[in-house]
Structures are given as C-alpha cells and as structure tokens.
Amino acid sequence: MGKRAATQAGAPAWKKFRGNGVKSKVNTIVSALRDGGLDSEVPETARWMLADGASAAFATVANRHKFQIEMCNLILETLQDIASRLQNKVDEAKKDASALATEQESKKAELTAAGEILTEAKDAVAKKAEEHEEAKKVLSDLEQAWASLESEGVSVKRRRDQQVKEQTKFTDFLENMLKVLLEKGPEAGGSEKAAKKMCEKLMKQVTHLGAEPALQASAPSVLLKKAEERQGFDTHVVESVQGLLTGRLEQIQKALDEIADEEKAREPQVTAKAEEVTQAKARLEDMKQQLEAAEEVACEKEVNVAKMQSSLEAFETSAQEKAKAIEAAEANVTVFAEVLAIYHDLHGDAAEDAENAAVKAEALTAPAVLV
C-alpha cells in the first residue's frame, strides 16, 4: 500500500493508519467498525462485536475455522456497507451542488434582468426629473409674465386714481367754489377775506390751466362782484373761467375713458395669463408626483437588486461550502477505500499463511527419500 497523506489531529484512528504489520492493520479495521460517525445498517452493538472479534478472525492459522471465515465475511459486508454510504454522501452532495449551481445560474440571470430593470427605472427618474425642471422653468416664466402684467395693472390703477382725484378736485372747483363765488361774490365763504382766499385758490388753478393774462387780470374782480353787479363783459369772463374748468374736466374724462379701454383690453390678457399660471402649477405638481413615484419605483428596484445580490452571495458561499463538503466526502471515500484494501491485505495474508502451513505439514508427514 502507498503512503497516505497526513491527516489532521483529532481524526479517527482509521484515518491515522501508518503501520504495515498485521496488528496495526487489524487496529485500523477495529477503529472503523467502532467509529459511530460512520453510518451503517449494522447496529452499533453488532459492530462492536465484530470489532472485538476482528483480531481472532484475522489471526494467522493453518486452517481458518468457518466461524472465522464467517466473521471476516460479516466484517467485509459491514465495511462495504459503510463505504457504499460514504459514496452515497458524495453522490448526494454532488447532486445538491449541481442543483445549487443550476439555481445559482438562475439567480444570476434574475439579477441581470433586475439590474436592467433598475437601469430603466433610473432612466425614468432622470427623464421625470428633466420634465419636472422644465415644468418649473415654464411656471417661473409665466409667473414673471403675470407679475409684469400685474405691475402694469397697478400702474394703470395708479393713473386712474390720479385722474379721479383730479376729476374730484376740478369738479369741486367748478360746481362748488366757482358756483359759490358766482352766487355770493364777496360774501362767499362767509366773509370778504374768505371770498378772496377762495378766489385766489381758484385763480391759481385757472392760471395752471393756461388762462390768458387778460383773463388772469380781470377774473378775480369779476368773481368777487355781487351777482347783480356783473355786466355783459363779466359774463364773458365767467364763461371763460367755466370753459377752462370744463375743458380740464373733459380732458380728465377722456383720460379716464382711455384708461378704462386699456383696462378692458388688458383684462383678457391677465385672465389668460392667470389661467396659464394655474395650469402650469397643476402640471408642475403632476410632474412632482410622477417624479416621486418614479423615484419610489427606482428605490424599490434598487432594494430588490441589493437583496438579490445578497442572496446570490449567500448562494456562492453555500456553493463553496458544498464544494468543501464534496471534497471532504470524497476524502473519506478515498481513505475508507484504503481500509477496504487493508481488509483484503489481511484476508490475503491469512490465506497465504494457511497455505504455507499446509505445505509444511505435508512435508513433515511424507516418507523420507534416500539419496
């Protein structure tokens, strides 16, 4: 027999066999029979019985008794059963490893497909993010345009308010101040001093309206006359003052009409722009929700890929463990094959010794031959 590779410390005695003597070989057989870690259909008590009788069964004698032969056969049958079961473990481990490898390849294919799906999900997120940014820009542009229209509207309103204020002021000049002066003359306001102050205020506005110097010079004295004292020329002066105030009010009204037309023309634009802003806000919110949904899907796919990678790593670890198990099981088969070889060595040695003993016995009983 060839020299066996070194075994680890703590291994069963049948794995540590080194000697070539009969006793050492028998001890290897005994160790194998007594090892409870080796599966066999033979009960443990029966195996210990065979182990206890192994030395006697393999003893070198001239004629092996039938009980010894039967004992050897039982030992061989037990050892062969153990060897068969060890080989079955190898076959089962290889079968499991093959199934695991098939499932592992399936998992790899699933991981590849999941990776492609994840890539598609991330592409979808990028696209939705781009659409979301575009929707934000559209809304920003529309809001700026709307703000510009609103600003213009504020300016128009300010102009209208100014014109209304002017209208109120000159209406007061025409319908109150001038009227009081025309009706009460020097007694307007309750006193001559008050009447002069009222007349000065009125003339200041008349002057601003572009009254001619002659009118500016004659109007105060006419306005401060009593109504019954005014003559024909005075009427012309009054009408001139009234004309300036009325003309100013007409200008104001014209400006108000133009502003009203402008506001009316702007109204559809403002309404349309406001509607565009509302729609843009709705679209932005929709894009935001779509982006969040796409991100959630991508996150789920990424988690799924991570789980599959972890699962595949577990498969790879399991495959490595299976390979080690197969290697160990095959090593047991190889070493136990040596145990069977030892059995056959012992069986052959005993037969050879018996044959030699028979030859010697025959030689002793044969008649002497004289030379």
Place 357 in a pLDDT band, splitting at 50, 70 and 90. very low
Higher pLDDT, 352 or 269: 269
Place 122 in a pLDDT band, splitting at 50, 70 and 90. very high
Residue 62: per-residue pLDDT: 60
How many CA atoms are closer than 13 Å to the CA of 25, on its beta-carbon side? 20
Backbone angles phi, psi at 35, to 5 degrees: -75, 110
Place 9 in a pLDDT band, splitting at 50, 70 and 90. low
- Euclidean distance between CA atoms 326 and 227, whole angstroms: 134
- Euclidean distance between CA atoms 315 and 309, whole angstroms: 10
Place 22 in a pLDDT band, splitting at 50, 70 and 90. confident
Q: Is the pLDDT confidence value at 6 over 80? A: no
Q: Is the pLDDT confidence value at 371 over 50? A: no
Q: Which amino acid is at 239?
A: E
Residue 117: per-residue pLDDT: 94
Residue range 36-50: mean pLDDT, rounded: 93
Q: Is the pLDDT confidence value at 352 over 80? A: no
Least confident of 50-54, 90-94, 184-188: 184-188
Residue 18: per-residue pLDDT: 61
User: What are the domain boundaries of the chain?
Assistant: 15-117+324-359, 124-305
Q: Where are the alpha helices (DSSP H) in the chain?
A: 22-34, 44-57, 66-172, 179-184, 192-208, 213-223, 232-365
Residue range 345-362: mean pLDDT, rounded: 52
Place 82 in a pLDDT band, splitting at 50, 70 and 90. very high
Place 59 in a pLDDT band, splitting at 50, 70 and 90. confident
Residue range 258-277: mean pLDDT, rounded: 91
To the nearest whole percent, how much of the chain has pLDDT over 70?
Answer: 89
Residue 360: per-residue pLDDT: 40
pLDDT tens-place string over residues 221-258:
998 988 888 888 999 999 999 999 999 999 999 999 99
Q: Is the pLDDT confidence value at 370 over 80? A: no
Q: Give whole-number Cα distances, 112 to 153, 295, 305, in Å.
A: 61, 20, 9
Residue range 135-159: mean pLDDT, rounded: 92
Give the three-class secondary structure for 209: coil
